[in-house]
Amino acid sequence: MTARLAGIMQNNDDHIISQGLKTMIYINSPLMAEALATGEALLHAKGSGICRFRVASDAKNLIHLIN
């Protein structure tokens, strides 16, 4: 199964400052795809020197696991 991971980064004024799209193979579930997309976003934030951030997702189960 293939998944397309997408994400955006916005500043406090809701302006898009970065966006990305990545295709990954061997993804077995939508929850796994959301988790991988979130991980990619966190790595991007760290690499950009961003210390404070908020994660938003429509995957309630994933957000519950993170919190």
In order of 21, 33, 40, 63, the CA distances from 3 in angstroms are: 10, 6, 13, 19
Residue that is written with structure tokens 């966190």 in the block: 42
Judge contact between 33 and 27, C-beta under 8 A.
Answer: yes
Residue 62: what are its φ and ψ, rounded to 5°? -65, -45
Q: Which helix (H) or strand (E) holds 20?
A: strand 16-25
pLDDT of residue 13: 92
Kindly report the pTM of this predicted structure: 0.76
* Beta-carbon-side half-sphere exposure of residue 55 (alpha carbons within 13 Å): 23
Tell me the per-residue pLDDT of 10-64, one tens digit each, with 9 for 90 and over: 888 999 988 989 998 888 898 898 899 889 888 988 998 888 888 888 888 888 8
User: Could you state, in order of their start, the residue ranges of all structural domains in the chain?
Assistant: 2-66
